[in-house]
Amino acid sequence: MRILGIESSCDETAASVVQDGKKLLSNVVASSAQAHIQYGGVVPEIAARSHIESILPVIHQALDDARCSWQDIDAIAVTKGAGLGGSLLVGVLTARTLAIAHDKPLYGVNHVEGHIYVNFLTTAAPWLDGTYQLPSKQPTFPMLGLIVSGGHSQLVLWQDHMDYKLLGQTHDDAIGEAFDKVARIIGLPYPGGPSISKKALEGNSGAYKLPKAKLRGKYDFSYSGLKTAVLRTAQDIIGKDYSFPSLEIAPLLTDQQKADLAASFQRTAVETIVDKTVLAAEEFQPKSVVIGGGVAANGELRRQLSDRLPLPAEYTDIKLCTDNAAMIATLGSYHHLLGSSPDDPFTLDIAPNLSM
């Protein structure tokens, strides 16, 4: 069984073919990230226009790389949400058209669930050999999933495929969003996650004491307070008060102060989410713990989880943590395998605010 996955929820246009829900045959990602750098964040109109240009070449490349023709494809899975409306529309309309033209079942799937399902990939085609470091075995249920991306910070417990419960989530900013905003304050390039983790290598994570938010929900998080604490600390370092504009701070910080702020922020941001993940692992005794989303690429997060979880955690390749279509094809594979009803290719709609 081979599923073609299509992803276009943000600034990555991606297509991938996955076999039997566990074997990666191709993974093509075209990103418009470069075009957004000068604005310090994704510009929806630019992203949508870029999807229009890239989507068909990306899909054809994914089929070619997988050594597949349309006859070899059993179904199409596409991200219907959550994401940017204009970006999602391009992927969904393309998938609908291809499903009609090639007479394939179509599944509109949840991007956030996809970030967790990418952990079910355990092998790659021989022509991808060595390109991906995949877990040695598939996760087993009950499975605790930690989703940490630019738009989401959630802890979810799966009893089985398609049977899950949201344990907790952020009340305000997502963890990736906090990385991006803190990077702006200390003058590091977008996207903030990779640039903060790189800068943090030169810094002292104990240099500045930053607060961890305390919330009533046992498994809920909050990141806007931590971001503000970094801002206040930075204003303090340069001897200005809270009215000093955040975007004028960076040039007044030394390189070492930036590195110390990056390291202190990263440590606190990661500890906050690892504290709750360990708590949930102790309470629910899952058989596996998996992480997904862009921030799952973070080395400090992987280290802290491995050190503190009561069971071994396996992580997927960093290239599969940020947005891609392999995660969508994998999730689509389980919809197809488990007999979910396909969507109507004439009416499948986008769901920009889709939640878990």
The interface mask with ligand KG4, positions 48-77, x = CB under 6 A, is ------------------------------
Residue 317 interacting with Zn ion (CB under 5 A): no
Footprint (CB under 6 A) of ligand KG4, residues 311-350: 322-323
Q: Does 14 bind ligand KG4 (CB under 6 A)?
A: no
In this structure, which amino acid lies at residue 144? L
What phi-psi label fits residue 67: left (phi over 0), alpha (psi between -120 and 50 degrees) or beta? left
Should residue 179 be labelled a site residue for ligand KG4 when binding is judged by CB under 6 A?
A: yes
180 part of the interface to ligand KG4, by CB under 6 A = yes
Which positions from 147 through 186 interact with Zn ion, judged by CB under 5 A?
A: 149
Q: Among all chains, which residue has been given the structure tokens 């073919």?
A: 17
**Minimum gap (Å) between residue 15 Cβ and ligand KG4:** 16
Backbone angles phi, psi at 249, to 5 degrees: -75, -45
Residue 79 binds Zn ion, judged by CB under 5 A? no
Question: Least distance from C-beta 333 to ligand KG4, angstroms?
Answer: 20
Non-local (6+) Cβ contacts of 354 within 8 A are 80, 81, 82, 110, 111, 112
Is 81 a binder of ligand KG4 (CB under 6 A)?
no
CB-CB contact of 140 with 313 (8 Å): no
Q: Are 121 and 134 in contact (CB under 8 A)?
A: yes
114 binds ligand KG4 (CB under 6 A): no
Number of residues that bind ligand KG4 (CB under 6 A): 20
Whether residue 84 contacts residue 50, with contact meaning beta carbons closer than 8 Å, is answered with no
Other Cβ atoms less than 10 A from the Cβ of 247: the count is 10
- Contact between 323 and Zn ion by CB under 5 A: the answer reads yes
- Per CB under 6 A, 149 contacts ligand KG4: yes
Show Cβ contacts of residue 103 under 8 Å, excluding neighbours closer than 6 positions. none
> How far apart are the two ends of the chain, measured CA to CA in Å?
27
Which residues are CB-contacts of 129 (< 8 A; sequence separation ≥ 6)?
none
Q: How far is the CB of 266 from ligand KG4 (least distance, A)?
A: 8
For residues 19 and 165, what is the distance between their CA atoms, to the nearest angstrom?
A: 27
- Shortest Å distance, C-beta 210 to Zn ion: 26
Residue closer to ligand KG4 by CB (options 21, 294) is 294
User: Is the bond into 142 cis (omega within 30 degrees of 0)?
Assistant: yes
Neighbour tally for 37: CB within 10 Å: 11
Asked if 10 is part of the footprint of ligand KG4 (rule: CB under 6 A), the reply reads yes
Quick check: 120 binds ligand KG4 (CB under 6 A)? no
265 lines the binding site for ligand KG4 (CB under 6 A): no
8-state DSSP, 84: -
Comparison of 260 and 323: residue with beta carbon closer to Zn ion: 323
Q: Exactly one of 297, 348, 350, 351 binds ligand KG4 (CB under 6 A); which one?
A: 297
Please give the residue ranges that form the binding site for ligand KG4 (CB under 6 A).
10, 149-151, 176-177, 179-180, 191-194, 197, 293-295, 297-298, 322-323
